[in-house]
Chain A
Amino acid sequence: MIEGRAHLFGDNINTDYIIAGKYTKTLDYSVWVSHLFEDISPGFSQKVKPGDCVVAGRNFGCGSSREQAAVALKYAQVGAVLAKSFARIFFRNAINLGIPALICNTDEIHDGDQLEIDLTNQKIYNLTTHQILTIEPLPDVMIQILSEGGLTPYLKKFKTFKKPQVKEGRA
């Protein structure tokens, strides 16, 4: 169970806003954490607590493929990222690092709401408003990667990708 407060963001939050390009030239993750959302939400890295959720609108993580954005969220111990939709590269990066990137109707969540996320039953419990939100199911391959804790542990274990099922009987 993931538990934490909601930090609300809008639509089209790009990876430059998550971590600016000027901070990407290092492998010191603490640098990225300390500058998280600096250009649009100064002081975020001081506010965020382990388990807290980043809650956004449409197209979260658009723009650059820089994985530093997802790594920064991971090492800030963000519990999950919730959005109405994700840009595809960020979506993969988050799951590959074991960060639950979950699609749901985030209109129902307010800044500061206390959330509890049950990944097994795909539910988000808003303890502040007493609402229950349903998470859109992830594709099978992403569930497998996420349940191993990310792509690196997945590939360490399986050495290769499991071949997906292709629908039969197509006209």
Chain B
Amino acid sequence: MARGKTIVEKIISSHCGQDVYAGDFAVVNVDLAMAHDSTAPLAIQAFRQYEEPRVWDASRLVFVLDHAVPSPNEQVSRLHSMIRDFAHEQKAHLFEAGEGICHQLLAEQGLVRPSDIVVGCDSHTCTYGALNALSFGIGSTDMSGVLLTGQLWLKVPETLKLIYEGKMQKGVSAKDVMLFTIGKLRSDGADYLALSFTGEAIENMEICDRLTMCNMAIECGAKAGMMECDDKTKAYLSGRSKMEILPVFDDKDALYRDTITINISALEPQIALPHAVDNVCPVKKVEGTEIQQIFIGTCTNGRLEDLRAAASILRDKHISSSCRLIVGPASREVLREAIREGIIEVLLQAGATIIPPGCGPCPGTHLGVPGDGEKVLSTANRNFKGRMGNNKASIYLASPMTCAASALRGCISDPREFLEMGDA
């Protein structure tokens, strides 16, 4: 009798036409492929070499202009034009500059559904595991192969099961849970593995929080971060996607590389110190460290709920004169909703600068490049030296609430003392 399968083994088996298990190699059919303005040009250039006029299936191909938008210079404009022209020629969908960040758009616009295989030329493509899809980042040449064949070879990853028990304290968020996890697993602790996020704490999380968790699976080397499909997933997808939902679950007798249980009831707000994402400690330990720039946004934490959490701390207050606060909504839809709810008004009154939907300062291409010797606190997923465009700056990573609290004081601050009113 065949043994049970993990979600990942099931999805890959259904996409390669045979039963495969961890360690096997497979050639899979891809349901959706995505590339953005940093990675699409190389993929298009490689695709041209095949001298094939058409991509395999333009209806399954999406381009997003998000990394440097609106274009900061003529060089970037040329790359944007190249992508626009190719998308137009192939009749593939293009999300224009200003519509939002790729990972927010694919989820929000209902382009991803459970059991899909989604590949993207961006390492944070693992985000859609939160929607019960197998999704992961690939390079541009691999993408050129997908454009030609609709297929990709891969090694079926083993799964590391993480069971989250307990209940988050007030002032603690999914970002803190994930930073803590990465600190424990370290930056290569899940190399070549899929993470399976399970347990009551995950069940209690909203989709926005689950997207945050899965988004950062790559930061400990994981190929994918998987979650099961439940009523919250279905509610999120309904109204966004007309496609049939086919949830996938781990079999009870599936084999895991290992199972780790993490109780989050006593977890405090966490922070990643420069210059590594796995360099994590409680916020309390570095409280008081002066910060010159704070950034709330990105594919990790630029969603409506994140802006709402920040606004709950900043309401009727003003940030310290010793720091700047930049807020980047993850999509135009997020921005519109935040305007409707009055969140943007609260942020502006508090002294925030609102930037267009997109990756903003995170990849260091333009907008909000820190100065020499400056310390930045960000809700992003990476803090490598030079990441935001200046190798003489230092980057700390934390939750939207920690960022908002720190902006009020101009130094790293634990958000819990700002939440006494009980509205967070």
Contacts and interface: CB of A to CB of B under 8 A. Distances in A.
B389 interface: yes
Interface string A144-165: 0000001110011001111111
A47 interface: no
A58 interface: yes
Given A27-B41, A89-B138, A164 B49 contact: no
B355 interface: no
A80 B100 CA distance: 38
B75 A150 contact: no
Interface string B386-403: 110101000000000000
Contact of B221 (A22, A38, A66, A87): A87
B151 interface: yes
Contacts of B141: 67, 93, 96-97, 150-152
B64 interface: no
Given A67-B42, A85-B188, A89-B138, A155 B149 contact: yes
B306 interface: no
Nearest to B49: A152
B121 interface: yes
Contact of B18 (A93, A141, A156, A166): A166
Given A12-B188, A155-B50, A155-B148, A166 B384 contact: no
Contact of B382 (A63, A92, A160, A170): A63
Contact of A59 (B149, B188, B223, B363): B188
A8 interface: no
A64 B139 contact: no
A16 B142 contact: no
B221 A59 contact: yes
A162 B41 CA distance: 27
B85 interface: no
B191 A16 contact: no
Residue among B39, B144, B152, B384 with most chain A CB within 10 A: B384
A1 interface: no
Nearest to A71: B42
A101 to B, nearest CB: 12
A85 B191 contact: yes
B365 A167 contact: no
A152 B134 CA distance: 25
Contacts of B348: none
A87 B191 contact: yes
Interface in A9-27: 12, 14, 16-17, 20-22, 24-27
Contact of B21 (A38, A68, A92, A170): A170
A161 B221 contact: no
Contacts of A171: 1, 3
B50 A156 contact: yes
Contacts of A151: 46, 141-142, 144-145
Nearest to A166: B24
A49 interface: no
Given A21-B365, A171-B3, A65 B137 contact: yes
A16 B42 contact: no
Contacts of A12: 187-188, 276
B191 A17 contact: no
Interface in B166-212: 187-188, 191-192
Interface string A120-161: 000000000000000000011100000000111001100111
A68 B42 contact: yes
Contacts of A71: 42
Interface of A: 12, 14, 16-17, 20-22, 24-27, 38-40, 58-59, 62-68, 70-71, 85, 87-90, 92-93, 96-97, 139-141, 150-152, 155-156, 159-167, 170-171
The 5 closest A-B pairs by CB, nearest first: A93-B139, A59-B188, A164-B25, A96-B141, A67-B139
13 contacts: A16-B384, A17-B385, A20-B386, A20-B391, A22-B365, A25-B67, A64-B363, A88-B191, A89-B139, A93-B140, A164-B25, A166-B24, A171-B1
